[in-house]
Amino acid sequence: MIIGLTGKNASGKGAVLEFLRERSFYAFSLSDALRSELAARKLPLTRDNLIALGTELRREFGNGVLAERILEELEEEKNYIVDSFRHPVEVETFRRRGDFILLNVHADDRIRFERIASRGRENDPRKLEEFLKLEAQEAKSDNAFAQQLDATIARADYTVENNGSFEELHRSVVSIIQIAAKKQKRPDWDTYFMKIAKVVALRSNCIKRKVAAVIVKDKRIISTGYNGTPRGVKNCNEGGCPRCNSLSSQGEHLDKCLCSHAEENAITQAAYHGVSIKGAALYSTFSPCLMCTKMIINSGITEVVFDDRYSIDDTSLNLLKEAGIKVRSLRAT
């Protein structure tokens, strides 16, 4: 999951970030790009400079620029805590990921001012009225490229109060994480196995098309295969297959192709290692050709699930159905 943090100055966003960082969340901030840019320009790292630079970058590259830069670094399988959401478009950019929630960290004005005052920094406001006046200027703006903190906070999925102790804050955060975790969507089995097949396809050495198959039994992968030249033969992308390297049109000179197909390799790999595939399901990134279809039928595989479809495979699909093998296309669901 991705937990985004928003909230007013000294509300405790940093404390939430550190708490989750210590619990295996990977930490980022939308301000990281601003800090790097300020350093490159040899400008001091001040709140005013961060705000001004953020406005400049949004004007030049769009309001989602900071969010886009961070999203490029995030991987699907990890949990993240991302600080400093200050514009609604940044929130909407992250919402493209279905595992994103925005958390608003809230604390009363006087408590936040006392936290600021306790830091004793030279440029911090000395009075509560001055603090609130400055904050009001940052909360919203007629400039569409300036930070819009109030509008961002209004888009939060959850608000955690931080007027008490760290222990109270931590308990609130844990409660929200537990709620969010229950709402997370895991990929179904079809998606799971087909995504694995697509990763297997990256191993293909075929110069024309990368295809892969995985054979599954009892929700366990027992064999994988990708297309390419046979074991011990020069790889297709190194010139091993004359047909592929001449970029022959689809369906032409198939008798000249030296590459083994993904389904063929998955089946023969199981045989090579003495693994029974009777009653198994085969997931393939493409529907099988006629040769692979006959191997599938005779190997005892009982189900074929494919993603893309070859334009020359009607005979294959009809033969699979005639043999009583269940055939499903994920593109049709």
DSSP conformation letters of 89-123? HHHHHHTTSTTEEEEEEE--HHHHHHHHHHH--TT
Burial of 155 (0-12, 13-18, 19+ CB in 10 A): middle
CA distances to 228, 235, 236, 240 from 232, rounded to whole Å, are 11, 9, 12, 11
Nearest one of 6, 11, 8, 14 to 107, comparing CA atoms: 11
Could you give the CA distance from residue 304 to residue 320 in angstroms, rounded to a whole number? 9
Could you give the CA distance from residue 38 to residue 53 in angstroms, rounded to a whole number? 8
Alpha helices in 123-235 (DSSP H): 128-139, 149-153, 166-183, 189-201
Q: What are the structure tokens assigned to 304, written together?
A: 């074929």
Beta-ladder partners of 224: 214
Nearest one of 113, 125, 47, 128 to 86, comparing CA atoms: 47
Give the CA angle between residues 247, 251, 255 to the nearest 5°: 85
Q: Which one from 135, 138, 263, 264 is the annotated catalytic residue?
A: 263
Active site residue 263: yes
**Angle between helices 32-40 and 47-61 in degrees, nearest 10:** 100
Name the residues annotated as catalytic: 263
